[in-house]
Structure 1
Amino acid sequence: MIKSQNHTSGISITMFTTLVAIYFSVVINVPFYKDLQSIFSSLEEVKTGFVISIPLFLFFSLNIVFSLFSWPKLTKPFFIVLVLLSSIVCYAEYNYGVMFDVDMITNIVETDTGEARAYLSFYALIWVLAIGVTPAIFMMRCTIQPAGKMWLPLLRDKLISITVSLIALAIIFVFYYQDYASVGRNNSYLRKLIIPTQYVYSISGYVKERFFSAPIPYVKLGDDAKQSELAIDQSLDKPSVFIFVVGETARTQNYQANGYDRETNPYTALKNVISFNDVSSCGTATAISVPCMFSNLSHHTFDRDIADHQDNLLDILKRAGIDVLWKENDGGDKGVAKNVRYIEIDRHRKDEFCNGSTCYDMALVEGMNKDIDEMKGNRVIFLHLIGSHGPTYFQRYPKDMAYFQPDCARSDIENCEKENIINSYDNTIRYTDYVLSNVIETLKEKNDQYNTAMMYVSDHGESLGENGVYLHGLPYRFAPDYQKKVPLMVWLSDGFKQAKSINASCLREKAMETGHYSHDNIFHSLLGVMDIETRVYQPDNDIFSSCRMQ
């Protein structure tokens, strides 16, 4: 990209900045051009001059921005780091359709090392070496003219460069403003693909929110929470045990129980499970959806900072005297279980469920009999699955559970055939179904001692290459339904239905309704079904409420 100079004078900072701007506008922003090409192919007519002007628009814009950061002693280290980070962002955007907004930065920061390793591949390494490390080496070897005491010439050159760029942008706008306005209005997500401005802006936003925002006072919710007298009386004779399973990356479109034409739910199909057909997630990434579903905030009002500084569902259940346990197999609870008993599966162990780096979700079911018996009174156990977490779908199920073949046994799924990717993903859904059936069987074995029930809901969905998009985490308003529609299943023992006066036929009818259910219902449904009396409970948001015979 930038050639090392043989003479001692080197190139000027202004020239260095110009060359970097050219590289970013032509090479690093290839994901932006990829989406533009898709947009243009759907239009009846596109002006050739407008198309040619786009890389020029990017160059002149980036040249102005980069000029503000190119100063003696700062230029090289700043742009070396920038190009290395940008090469990673470029890879993720181009191959997976990822957009780096503040929520995505939050998700990245809260991703543990085990999850991060799943994204590593030889293909990714070659990509970053080619467009990140190689130009970074050229930058290091490049000789830049020392400014010395000649600040006026440097400022003059910068002013000229910025002025020329501004004039060029003005000319482009004179000729093609309507075209830019039309494409921009109809495809506002495009600005989120521009590298490096979007991800740098998002990182700064994350840092500001996390470290420089005014302290938020902690708010105690449900301080009046208590179990109903009936629930307490029942716990003395036959306590209730509710298993809440938090799924990972499961989308409802691939659930046989919701109309999918493949056998992805053969195990729970035999368990009289009630499946809700149309449920929306709160977010498109775990870092948002998990805190949101256990918060009393809705999808439209959710703010992670606020949620982190107030009581959530688990806190209120505990305050009401419910014995609460969280079991973790997905790298973290995102702060929701900080005040309750917590067990994390040791992924470093090596046995039938774990290989030293990751564990199958059956490891959560292991020892569940003991977990239940060691608790007291009415009890709720949360199981956080690794579920269908990609891109290494093939690591989420044992080889003898690879029902759909051929599958995609690699992390760079973009290099697999789409059918193979879907096979791998469907295998994860099928394996999760197997895990849920084992949870149900464990609860059935406890029916003489406890009134038992299970609810399962995924945190968000997943894209499997539709319109060139993979994985998840797109900004909610741009994300397809594949990332926002999630499965929700309920299983109730006869004892639980009787103790809670739940009409299962009514609930099954409710489950067929569309446009009514989302993660917003979780908080109030668990408070309701566990008979917690508190002013923060809203019966209208409780999926069981209208089907309980008073």
Structure 2
Amino acid sequence: MKRSASIFNKEINYNVLVFFIAVYFGLVLNIPLWRTFYEILSKIEVVNTGFVISLPIFIIAALNIIFQIFAWPYLGRVFFSVLTLISAITAYASYQYGIIFDYGMMENIFETNTGEALSYFSLSGVITVFFIGVIPCFIVLFIKTKKQSFVKDFVIYKLISIIVSIIVIVLIAMFFYKDYASVGRNNKYLNRVINPSYVYTGIKYLDRNYFTKPIAYQKIGTDAKLVQTATSNGKPTLFVFVLGETARSQNYQANGYSRPTNQYTQPYNMISFKNVTSCGTATAVSVPCMFSAMNRSNYNKAIAYNQDTFIDILHRAGISMLWKENDGGDKGAGDRVREITLKHGTENPLCDGESCIDMALLDNFDQQVAEMKGNKFITLHIMGSHGPTYYKRYPKDHTFFKPDCQRADIENCTTEQIINSYDNTILYTDYMISQLIQKLQSYSDKYNTALFYISDHGESLGEDGLYLHGTPYSLAPEYQTTVPMMMWFSKSFTQDRGLNLTCLENIANNAKRGDYSQDNVFSSMLGIMDVKTSVYKPQQDIFRQCRTN
């Protein structure tokens, strides 16, 4: 206690304290950056030793310049203590899961519900953040600084510190500019790995979403109408759209995976597209993009949230709509239709107070279908395979692959356990879909039924040191950007739509990566529901070439 007390009794020059904070950030809170540099430099045949030595010096000097600019009496301590704590959390997440805190990750963070966010916390994470974040925070807040005259000492020392740092950077540039330019050009994401670069992307997100004047809402497809008011057999349509979460195509038995992760739906001969690409690597991007009229190449979040989706257009054409939510929000896609969000209370045996397993979405399904009129379109937004708490996505009696990882800090599980837990989530989604198909089959005398399933994005399970999802799209591995897309149609539905399933299956089996993506969803849903509108793009309708009417 005496030793720790003596630390707080010592007086230090305020600007020197700021420099030490820059050193701490550069050497400790940027360990993920140094690991990234190690991975990059290990692939280069000849590496300049002086360049390697200069890297931490360059980062510390650059951070010192920025920190000195923001370091002023009274508010400075609070600012740096908060910055240190948040940076400790981001450093842990970056090191353990390979997360890069770019704009897309900021969307994911700000738009994640509380229960989902809490699932990322683990004991090892809390302990790590305590030592590298909380303790340094207290030091910054309570260490004594020398009394200085504002101009003579404080401002002069600040200017000296900044000038010296600038000189250091200039000298490094003079000797190693070629090395920095080469590594920088070939690895443009590096600036987003530096801690705390998330401050810039966070401010950018807040500005766009809370301080920028929202654009006016735009209705599209106002000419939408059903091609035929009555089906050929007189039965209305009941179409179920299952919106998946964090399922990657590579772990689907239907797509060539060696494990029986689709054993429940196998008897129903679902048609599976295995090379479908996602619009983003996080729900906050993929869902609004997928439901909008935009493609990934021209996607704009502000427009997506203020423009009709295919859900709105189907509704306008006279189709009865229902959205059932179990994954923290529809991201604007179902805002204007009837929506039911599952309550997580423990009175439901399928819920634990924080979340529900996806079979809970089938509760009261019959009654809800009966309450709808005419042709019906139901969207089920499932929790699917959302991590890192994979084990919470399936009940214990559905633990098929063992041993699984029964904890949130998946970095402390073996690779085998993580994959087993993840595959259990895929298998449970498959079980839920099989139960849904059975239910749709029971409606065969009343409806022409169909089911369409697609995930929002994929997941990394430790490949190349990456876990979870949200990696910038340009850097993301195919595990995060390749999603399953599966569909089932009743006999009466295919007959009414003139849909040739053999043709559709041939297309699915022969499709290559890039042939189909979430860009196809918008027009495919309009087309298969027989809605005619000027915003429909026939070339993006995956069903069109296999229909005879």
- TM-score, normalised via structure 2 length: 0.97
The answer on 1:403 being equivalent to 2:400 is yes
2:9–2:143: 8 Å Cα contact kept in structure 1? no
- The C-alpha deviation readout for 1:181-220, integer Å capped at 9, x for no partner, is 1211222222111001x20010011011112223311111
CA–CA distance in structure 2, aligned partners of residues 40 and 430 of structure 1: 40
2:214–2:302: 8 Å Cα contact kept in structure 1? no
Partner of 1:151: 151
Per mean C-alpha deviation after superposition, the further-off stretch among 94-103 and 350-359 is: 350-359
Displacement after TM superposition at 1:156 (Å):
1.4
CA gap 1:245/1:444 in 2 versus in 1, 3 angstroms: same
CA–CA distance in structure 2, aligned partners of residues 134 and 35 of structure 1: 26
- 2:134 alignment partner AA: V
Displacement after TM superposition at 1:450 (Å):
0.1
Partner of 1:522: 521
The answer on 1:355 being equivalent to 2:352 is yes
The answer on 1:12 being equivalent to 2:9 is no
CA gap 1:2/1:487 in 2 versus in 1, 3 angstroms: farther
Partner of 1:189: 189
Displacement after TM superposition at 1:33 (Å):
0.7
Partner of 1:449: 446
Equivalent residue for 1:318, pick from 315, 318, 326: 315
2:450–2:490: 8 Å Cα contact kept in structure 1? yes
CA gap 1:412/1:33 in 2 versus in 1, 3 angstroms: same
Partner of 2:304: 307
- 1:387 alignment partner AA: G
CA–CA distance in structure 1, aligned partners of residues 55 and 185 of structure 2: 16
Partner of 1:25: 26
Per mean C-alpha deviation after superposition, the further-off stretch among 432-441 and 42-51 is: 42-51
CA–CA distance in structure 2, aligned partners of residues 181 and 461 of structure 1: 33
Equivalent residue for 2:284, pick from 273, 287, 291: 287
Partner SS, residue 277 of structure 1 = strand
- 1:543 alignment partner AA: I
- The C-alpha deviation readout for 1:357-406, integer Å capped at 9, x for no partner, is 21110111222222212111001000000000000001101111111111
CA–CA distance in structure 1, aligned partners of residues 416 and 193 of structure 2: 27
Partner SS, residue 420 of structure 1 = helix
The answer on 1:499 being equivalent to 2:520 is no
Partner of 1:391: 388
- The C-alpha deviation readout for 1:505-524, integer Å capped at 9, x for no partner, is 11101112112111111111
- TM-score, normalised via structure 1 length: 0.97
Partner of 1:418: 415
- 1:155 alignment partner AA: V
Displacement after TM superposition at 1:529 (Å):
0.5
Partner of 1:532: 531
- 1:240 alignment partner AA: T
1:101–1:202: 8 Å Cα contact kept in structure 2? yes
Displacement after TM superposition at 1:146 (Å):
4.1
Partner of 1:93: 94
- 2:456 alignment partner AA: D
- 1:106 alignment partner AA: E
Partner of 1:107: 108
Partner of 1:482: 479
2:8–2:139: 8 Å Cα contact kept in structure 1? no
- 2:36 alignment partner AA: D
CA–CA distance in structure 2, aligned partners of residues 207 and 487 of structure 1: 33
- 1:548 alignment partner AA: R
2:235–2:448: 8 Å Cα contact kept in structure 1? yes
- 2:521 alignment partner AA: I
- The C-alpha deviation readout for 1:223-254, integer Å capped at 9, x for no partner, is 111111x2x21299310010000000000000
Partner of 2:260: 263
- 1:274 alignment partner AA: I
CA gap 1:242/1:508 in 2 versus in 1, 3 angstroms: same
Query: Superposed, which structure 2 residues align to 1:58-73 within 5 Å?
Result: 58-73=59-74
CA–CA distance in structure 1, aligned partners of residues 544 and 232 of structure 2: 21
- The C-alpha deviation readout for 1:476-511, integer Å capped at 9, x for no partner, is 111111000000001000010011110101110111
Displacement after TM superposition at 1:353 (Å):
1.4
Unaligned 5+ runs, structure 1: none
CA–CA distance in structure 2, aligned partners of residues 464 and 144 of structure 1: 47
CA–CA distance in structure 2, aligned partners of residues 261 and 176 of structure 1: 49
CA–CA distance in structure 2, aligned partners of residues 58 and 495 of structure 1: 66
- 1:394 alignment partner AA: Y
Partner of 2:547: 548
Displacement after TM superposition at 1:75 (Å):
1.2
1:527–1:537: 8 Å Cα contact kept in structure 2? yes
CA–CA distance in structure 2, aligned partners of residues 142 and 352 of structure 1: 52
Partner of 2:127: 126
Per mean C-alpha deviation after superposition, the further-off stretch among 296-305 and 344-353 is: 344-353
- The C-alpha deviation readout for 1:251-309, integer Å capped at 9, x for no partner, is 00001100111111001111010000210000000011111110001101111111111
Partner of 1:208: 207
Partner of 1:139: 140
Percent identity between matched residues is 51
- 2:175 alignment partner AA: F
- 1:205 alignment partner AA: K
Displacement after TM superposition at 1:25 (Å):
0.4
The answer on 1:468 being equivalent to 2:465 is yes
Per mean C-alpha deviation after superposition, the further-off stretch among 296-305 and 36-45 is: 36-45
The answer on 1:82 being equivalent to 2:83 is yes
Displacement after TM superposition at 1:314 (Å):
1.1
Partner of 1:377: 374
Displacement after TM superposition at 1:36 (Å):
1.3
Displacement after TM superposition at 1:30 (Å):
0.4
CA–CA distance in structure 1, aligned partners of residues 332 and 147 of structure 2: 50
- 1:166 alignment partner AA: I
Per mean C-alpha deviation after superposition, the further-off stretch among 282-291 and 346-355 is: 346-355
- 2:48 alignment partner AA: K
CA–CA distance in structure 2, aligned partners of residues 236 and 269 of structure 1: 28
Displacement after TM superposition at 1:43 (Å):
2.2
- The C-alpha deviation readout for 1:417-441, integer Å capped at 9, x for no partner, is 1111001000100110001111111
2:232–2:496: 8 Å Cα contact kept in structure 1? no
Query: Superposed, which structure 2 residues align to 1:425-440 within 5 Å?
Result: 425-440=422-437
Partner SS, residue 487 of structure 1 = strand
CA–CA distance in structure 2, aligned partners of residues 380 and 367 of structure 1: 16
2:242–2:380: 8 Å Cα contact kept in structure 1? yes
Partner SS, residue 292 of structure 1 = helix
CA gap 1:216/1:40 in 2 versus in 1, 3 angstroms: same
The answer on 1:173 being equivalent to 2:173 is yes
- 1:111 alignment partner AA: T
Displacement after TM superposition at 1:73 (Å):
0.9
- The C-alpha deviation readout for 1:17-74, integer Å capped at 9, x for no partner, is 1010000001000010111112222222222221111110110000000011001112
- 1:192 alignment partner AA: R
